[in-house]
Amino acid sequence: MSFTESGERVALRKAVGGLARDYGHEYYSKLARTGGHTTDLWNEAGRLGYLGVAVPEEYGGGGGGIGDLAAVCEEFCAAGTPMLLMVVSPAICATVIARFGTDEQKRAWLPRFATGEVRMSFAITEPDAGSNSHRLATTAARDGAGWVLNGRKVFISGVDEAEAVLVVGRTEDAKTGRLKPALFIVPTDAPGFEYRPIEMDLISADKQFGLFLDDVRLPADALVGAEDAAMAQLFAGLNPERIMGASFSTGLARFALDKAVSYAKDRSVWGAPIGSHQGLAHPLAQIKIELELARLMTQKAAARYDSGDDFGAGEAANMAKYAGGEVAIKAVDQAVQVHGGNGVTAEYGLGALLGVVRVGRLAPVSREMVLNFVAQHSLGLPKSY
């Protein structure tokens, strides 16, 4: 592992950042406040190959790893144009299909992930189980050669933009009778599939939905990969999700910190820039340090995942996600404080982020569950739940 990114990734960051800044935060903010979507930006990013950097070359992608895709995500967020569906569609869904899908599934989906033509949501969270895959109530029963799905999901991102949803359900083990997780590709226009928006207090271009699956009938090839490998498949998607979540948070932290530093240099009170006062300079310096540490852990997590070390990636990805979520909250809060009253005006684009960055502590896994993981698996302490 190198602590310096390759020239190719540096160039990728520069190109993506340039595209994102061409659109800018005002573009994103207007769409978020009016109920619109970042369709134009998404389509152009897909056309330029940025959304498909981690798709295998044989299917039209860039042949890179999750580290490259995370860099793309971070640069969009750092420019004030975050696209939450990036965390889901190319990171989770495309990765799972690329690693575990059948040849037919790969041919059908991966070329369109590579160009950004297809958007796919991911559905694991349930009202009574959260993301605990051992307690999911959504079930998939065999129906001749196919399947029938029943259940409910909550807080599923981007379903209104998606062609399909990768749904985590549970099937019955023929030998033991126990239920085990399995992943299914469910078209959003399938009979019995319904989604309803969840009213949120977040200003975001990405919407959240509740899903209702009522006797949704699927063909046999809707099952992703092998039925017995579902747990491995699930974690193959959850580790990239955490890595992308970390990059999402660090990108927003960069956006807020850049605004704060610029304002602290330009704003003068009593004959001196406010950034010359340690009361503002030190908190910003501390955020810069914590931000770079979070980015470094994200780079480590991505390197481990891309090398095939799934367990090592799990530890690092959880730590990166935790660190990114924490520094994003600090960065936005301090940026608002530096701006004073301007920090909560729409003109400066910071106030709306106060709620958005809190999501980094809640999803895709809560801050407390990350601490449980580290306590149990990294420190060897007794399991607490």
Q: What angle do CA 88, 94, 99 make, to 5 degrees?
A: 130
Long-range contacts of 58-63 (CB under 8 A, 24+ apart): 59/98, 59/106, 59/107, 59/110, 59/111, 59/113, 59/114, 60/110, 60/111, 60/114, 60/115, 61/110, 61/113, 61/114, 62/114
Question: How many Cβ atoms are within 10 Å of 286's Cβ, its own excluded?
Answer: 13
- What mean pLDDT comes out for the span 6-13? 97
What rounded mean pLDDT belongs to the chain?
94
What CA–CA distance (Å, rounded) separates 28 from 10? 24
Taking only the tens place, the pLDDT of each residue in 282-323 is 999 999 999 999 999 999 999 999 999 988 899 999 999 999
Taking only the tens place, the pLDDT of each residue in 178-210 is 778 899 999 999 999 999 999 999 999 999 999
Q: What angle do CA 355, 360, 363 make, to 5 degrees?
A: 110
- What mean pLDDT comes out for the span 244-267? 98
pLDDT at 237 over 90: no
Which pLDDT belongs to residue 130?
66
1: CB partners within 8 A, 6+ apart: 299, 300, 303
Which pLDDT belongs to residue 190?
98
Q: What angle do CA 41, 330, 288 make, to 5 degrees?
A: 80
